[in-house]
């Protein structure tokens, strides 16, 4: 199982990624000195959207599509999930 996720950075940018451990990855984005190069300078970050998928191949395809849709469409995803359930 994998997660495709979007986090909102302190500068209001959105970062999209893949992980198999969502809580740990968000923690890494906020605290890691080695990983999370993009978000390191934009901390703190907050998880704003995620989708659970069956495997890495599906996750990679969804991540690619999500990265290409643009910020306005990503904001729609964030808004729709926010109104459905609480995030981690």
Within-domain flag for 88: no
Within-domain flag for 29: yes
**What pLDDT is recorded for position 17?**
97
Q: Would you state the structure tokens that stand for residue 37, as one six-digit string? A: 């190069």
**What pLDDT is recorded for position 5?**
97
User: 16, 67 in Cβ contact below 8 A?
Assistant: yes
Within-domain flag for 31: yes
User: 39, 7 in Cβ contact below 8 A?
Assistant: yes
Positions in the chain whose pLDDT score sits under 70: 84-88
Rounded to whole angstroms, how far apart are CA atoms 60 and 62? 5
Within-domain flag for 74: yes
Within-domain flag for 87: no
Domain residues for the domain of 8 are 2-82
Rounded to whole angstroms, how far apart are CA atoms 48 and 51? 11
Within-domain flag for 57: yes
Within-domain flag for 69: yes
Q: The CATH number of the domain where 67 resides is what?
A: 3.40.1440.10
Within-domain flag for 28: yes
Rounded to whole angstroms, how far apart are CA atoms 36 and 77? 23
Three-class secondary structure of residue 30 per DSSP: helix
- Total domains in the chain come to 1
**What pLDDT is recorded for position 86?**
58
Tell me the CA end-to-end span of the chain in Å, nearest whole number. 17
């Amino acid at each position: 199982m994998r997660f495709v996720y979007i986090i909102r950075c302190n500068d209001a940018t959105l970062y999209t990624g893949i992980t198999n451990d969502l809580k740990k990855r968000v923690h890494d984005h906020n605290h890691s000195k080695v990983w999370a190069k993009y978000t390191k300078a934009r901390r703190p970050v907050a998880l704003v959207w995620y989708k659970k998928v069956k495997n890495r191949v599906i996750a990679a395809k969804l991540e690619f599509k999500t990265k290409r849709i643009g910020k306005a469409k990503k904001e729609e995803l964030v808004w729709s999930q926010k109104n459905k359930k609480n995030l981690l």
